[in-house]
Amino acid sequence: MEIHYGYNDLDLRKPVVTMGIFDGVHRGHRTLLDTLVNRAAATGGESVAVTFDPHPRLVIEKNKTKLSFLSTMDEKTELLEKAHIGHLIIIKFTPGFSRMKACDFVREVLADKIKTKHMIIGHDHRFGYRGEGNFKTVNECASSLGFIVEQIRGLQSREGAISSSLIREALLKGNLDNANKWLGYCYSIRGQVVTGKGIGRKLGFPTANIKPGYKYKLIPANGVYAVEIKAGNEIKSGMLSIGTNPTVNQRQVKKTVEVNIFDFEKDIYGQEIEVVFRYRLRSEKKFDSLEQLSYQMMQDREVAMGLLL
């Protein structure tokens, strides 16, 4: 996949184009992207995905405290490459760009700069100033610009069309099974291992505290998870806790992400690791004593090992 930053000086052969935020590049997105690749192959053109960085909501919304996303730009790029797209165009999203009207974007960017021949758009995709652009808008604008527009139906689940917002909601509610099913892969976070309070080590379960590398990366619901850990060239099993450690902390404190890596003794402080969420074991709970907590952690480890090994 060839990556282009901006849309100037492009030289694409009969480009078949789609566009979107593609947060998480989930199964719904993959249906769209598979159609894109197939149409390009059938017409002898090149498949092109257009996306935006930073996420438009980070530019448009004034209150960013509750914003969280499924993927960083790097993660999104890796996932899009696995979809076998020929070209990825990353457009810098700025306050000025956010005010571009939908038809102006279709004419100036899609037609004049990218020279789109075939446009594929998702069932609910909106773009342009105040989200005024949709399939109807593109179709009306494109009719005078010489390219075909095709709309793809959304991939359905029992809860509705698979979407990034549906998956984010599932993760925040602790519905990991559904989230992973709709993603088409297991959700993960990447971050640096930082020094913690050492409580886990005192209980016999040394943990690596993880500081996520992206401020707006979504952290799943509080609780205990069976996970896989990618540290360097190694892949290990472990259990991870998200929460405020209520048994130890008597007052509300900042949420932490701590992972106990099974059969692993290396010093990885300062290193970046990736944690892959495979199963949710239980909700966070306050125990009456550290002994009860330690006993529960032994049970959690047994369950996690049974699921992962």
- Pairing between β-strand 148-152 and β-strand 160-161 as defined by DSSP bridges: unpaired
Catalytic hit among 258, 265, 274, 302: 258
Q: Determine the Cα–Cα distance for residues 208 and 202; give it in Å rounded to an integer.
A: 13
Whether a cis peptide bond, with omega within 30° of 0, leads into 220 is: no
Dmax over CA atoms of the chain, in Å, equals 73
Question: Would you call 2 a catalytic residue per the annotation?
Answer: no
Provide φ and ψ at 260, rounded to 5°.
Answer: -100, 115
Helices (H), the chain: 27-43, 56-60, 73-82, 95-98, 102-105, 135-142, 164-172, 176-183, 199-202, 290-308
Backbone phi, psi, residue 299, to 5°: -65, -40
User: Rounded to whole angstroms, how far apart are CA atoms 232 and 267?
Assistant: 12
Using DSSP, state whether 89 is helix, strand or coil: strand
CB-based contacts of 232, cutoff 8 Å, min separation 6: 271
**Residues annotated as part of the active site:** 258
